[in-house]
Amino acid sequence: MPETEQLVSTDGPPRLTGLTFHGPLSEARAGRLVARLAATGPGTVLDIGCGWGELMLRVLEAVPGARGVGVDVNAADLARGRANAAARGLSGRVDFVEESAAGTTRGPADLVICLSAGHALTTAEPPAHIAGALGALRGLVNPGGRVLFAEGYWRRTPTPAELGAMWPDASAGELPDLAGLVDTAVAAGFRPAWIETATTEEWDDFESGYQSDAEEWLAAHPVHPLAEQTRTRLDTHRAAWLRGYRDVLGIACLTLVPVA
């Protein structure tokens, strides 16, 4: 990652500088996604829960003249996205907006990206949140457009011990399997043009990158006022990953076409 794209806090550990994408997504897969989406010639791109909007920026680079809007509530991530856009000469074609995606009026767009951010579109509780998100996305995409939707699913039924190591109140019923996830997209008015899932290697790269800069900071600052808080956060997250959802939780990335 270019130095201009790294935002480092002087008060504590740097935040997510080891990640290019905020999710288990390899450079090879990102390249294929961008090429496939750019081939449809979108004039407008809407990124829901965009973070720093890396994939959106790559689509804009691949489609001269296209314009994008990224929506998120994290000011630091949005600032990183604006800095990245400026470094690539894209500032005039993209806006990063700090606001909730619930009930957004930023659409419709030719391409709508929603990568593991469907919860931002609905107040429904799991597992109904997936149908709620897909229903909202159906209203945000133009006819003939595309939705790129990434969402969690169970690769297999988690054991009670694995559920106990995950997030609070994790349950086997809160996510579908892959077939159930795709069926929900079809029921929402889409056809799945492409179905792909994150590999274990992509997950390991993401989880390691998610922790790496803070782990290195903690090793160098073991008695810092924020050290204990940081240590607890890192150890808790690592345990959830390695003892809980590794090889159990999957992420599917669906390229969806709205039914006319």
Task: Give the pLDDT confidence of 57-112 residue by residue, as tens digits.
Answer: 999 999 999 999 999 999 999 999 999 999 999 999 999 999 999 999 999 999 99
Task: Please say if the pLDDT value at position 32 is more than 90.
Answer: yes
pLDDT, mean of residues 150-155: 98
Compute the distance between CA of residue 45 and CA of residue 31 in angstroms, rounded to an integer.
Answer: 17
* Range list of H helices, 13-127: 27-38, 54-62, 75-87
Task: Please say if the pLDDT value at position 151 is more than 80.
Answer: yes
Strand-pairing partners, residue 191, are 257
* Cα atoms in the Cβ-side hemisphere of radius 13 Å centred on 16: 14
| pLDDT value for 217 | 97
pLDDT > 90 in the chain, percent: 95
Three-class SS state of 120: helix
**How many other C-beta atoms lie within 10 A of the C-beta of residue 158?**
20
- Give the pLDDT band of residue 134 (cuts 50, 70, 90): very high
* Range list of H helices, 54-192: 54-62, 75-87, 128-138, 160-165, 178-187
Compute the distance between CA of residue 170 and CA of residue 184 in angstroms, rounded to an integer.
Answer: 21
| pLDDT value for 9 | 42
Compute the distance between CA of residue 93 and CA of residue 66 in angstroms, rounded to an integer.
Answer: 7
| pLDDT value for 3 | 30
**Would you mind telling me the total number of residues written for the chain in this entry?**
260
Task: Please say if the pLDDT value at position 250 is more than 70.
Answer: yes
- By CB atoms closer than 10 A (0-12, 13-18, 19+), residue 11 is exposed
Compute the distance between CA of residue 28 and CA of residue 6 in angstroms, rounded to an integer.
Answer: 22
pLDDT in tens, 173-227: 999 999 999 999 999 999 999 999 999 999 999 999 999 999 999 999 999 999 9
Question: 95: which 2 tokens?
Answer: 């806006």
Token pair 């897969």 in the structure block, residue: 29
Which one-letter DSSP state was computed for residue 173? G
pLDDT, mean of residues 36-48: 98
- Give the torsion through C-alpha atoms of 231, 236, 241, 245, to 10 deg: -170
Compute the distance between CA of residue 82 and CA of residue 74 in angstroms, rounded to an integer.
Answer: 13
Of 117, 115, 53, the C-alpha closest to 86 is: 53
| pLDDT value for 219 | 97
- Give the pLDDT band of residue 4 (cuts 50, 70, 90): very low
Task: Please say if the pLDDT value at position 7 is more than 90.
Answer: no
Architecture of the 12-258 domain: 3-Layer(aba) Sandwich (3.40)
Contact between 50 and 56 under an 8 Å Cβ cutoff? The reply is yes
- Give the pLDDT band of residue 1 (cuts 50, 70, 90): very low
Task: Please say if the pLDDT value at position 124 is more than 70.
Answer: yes
Q: Domain ranges in the chain?
A: 12-258
| pLDDT value for 12 | 87
